[in-house]
Amino acid sequence: MEKRLEVPTPHIEPLPHRNQISAETARVPTFAAERTPRIPPATVRHMQLIDTVSIPGADNELALYKRGKDYFIKILGGQDLMNTRAHASEDALGEIASAGLRQTRQARVLIGGLGMGFTLSAALRQLGVDAEVVVAEIVPGVIDWNRGVLAEFAGRPLEDSRTLIQAVDVAILLRNERVGFDAIVLDVDNGPDALTRASNQWLYSRKGLSVILQALRPGGALAVWSAGPDRAFTKRLQAAGFVVEEVSVRAHAGKGARHVVWLARPSSP
Ligand SMILES: C[S@@+](CC[C@H](N)C(=O)[O-])C[C@H]1O[C@@H](n2cnc3c(N)ncnc32)[C@H](O)[C@@H]1O
């Protein structure tokens, strides 16, 4: 059942129980690049807090808010992660990563970060009936939201028989992969340099990229979402053995903020 709580601005009146916003979590950190514009406090006050879920390995929680017919995922008392209004760049990520795989027999795709399921849905639209899409989502509560109130927004991709969802850090799957993927898709953060979760840094590091390279099948590709450009990351990809294409994608169809998708293919097959 949905909890419908009016959310106070963090510094006024903390809510009781697990929805309480402490002075510590209310302090909003500054990030190099962000996925969605920070929601002004006055607007937050008009949102309903639907649920909060704990983030494994972290002190804070993820919160699901609702305003009108739209939902917003935020770090409780802090940064916005994404919403159901602006998802054109997440769609583009799934399309770019899976384009050309429809004819590939038993194509395998790994997606790091379920979020609201838009990238997963876009990938499924590109793929054949015998494909498999493994999705790693580190926050089990996010998977529950996608099976519940968020399900319709991306067209219920978790119910697609080609989807295999796992509540796990994508880094663990990458380190243990033996069969190989035709596409690896990463959207676990705001980008290589705008980390909301410090442990994700490994994924974008030289070591992480070489593990990803090993996990790709011949002809495979890595696609990475970022809120903004990052020249150092492009150079790291190249140094790790990838040929890199940088694609500019918009937050809304044809308008809005410009985000970046790196499409990286092994330089030697
Ligand atoms: C911005 S959202 C992804 C949005 C997604 N592309 C979509 O279409 O909705 C990032 C997601 O990655 C998850 N995440 C963060 N770090 C992760 C990790 N290391 N492994 C798996 N999931 C992770 C977060 O919990 C969040 O659900």
Q: What per-residue confidence (pLDDT) applies to 37?
A: 58
Tell me the best of 138, 153, 184 to mutate to test the pocket of ligand 1, counting ligand atoms within 8 Å of each CB and taking the most.
138
Last residue of a domain, one of 83, 100, 122: 83
Decide whether any atom of ligand 1 lies within 6 Å of the 190 Cβ. Answer: no
Domain count, the chain: 2
- Domain match, 95 and 161 both: yes
Query: Within this chain, do residues 109 and 79 fall inside the same structural domain, yes or no?
Result: no
Q: Do 139 and 53 share a structural domain?
A: no
Distance CA 100, CA 81 (A): 29
Mean model confidence pLDDT for the chain:
86
**Same-domain check for residues 111 and 229:** yes
pLDDT digits (tens, 9 = 90+) for 60-88: 899 999 999 999 999 987 778 899 999 99
Both 101 and 194 in one domain: the answer is: yes
Q: Give the CATH number for residue 183.
A: 3.40.50.150
Same domain, 92 and 50: no
10-residue mean pLDDT series, the chain (269 residues): 35 26 30 56 74 92 96 88 94 97 97 98 98 98 98 98 98 96 96 86 97 97 96 97 97 91 92
pLDDT of res. 36: 63
Q: Is the CB of 234 under 6 A from ligand 1?
A: no
Ligand 1 close to Cβ of residue 139 (< 6 A): yes
Atom number, ligand 1, closest to the C-alpha of residue 82: 1
Q: What is the pLDDT of residue 268?
A: 79
Are 237 and 197 part of one and the same domain? yes
Q: Are residues 69 and 164 in the same domain?
A: no
Question: What spacing in Å lies between the alpha carbon of 152 and ligand 1's midpoint?
Answer: 18
Same-domain status, 149 and 248: yes
Cβ–ligand 1 distance for 97 under 6 Å, the answer no
Residue 69 Cα to ligand 1 midpoint, Å, equals 22
142 lines ligand 1 (CB under 6 A): yes
- Are both 133 and 239 inside the same structural domain? yes
Which range of residues forms the domain containing residue 70? 5-83
What's the pLDDT at 32? 45
The closest residue, in CA terms, to atom 3 on ligand 1 is: 115
**12 alpha carbon to ligand 1 midpoint, in Å?**
30
Cα(244)–Cα(102) distance, integer angstroms: 22
Choosing from 53, 83, 113, the residue where a domain stops is 83
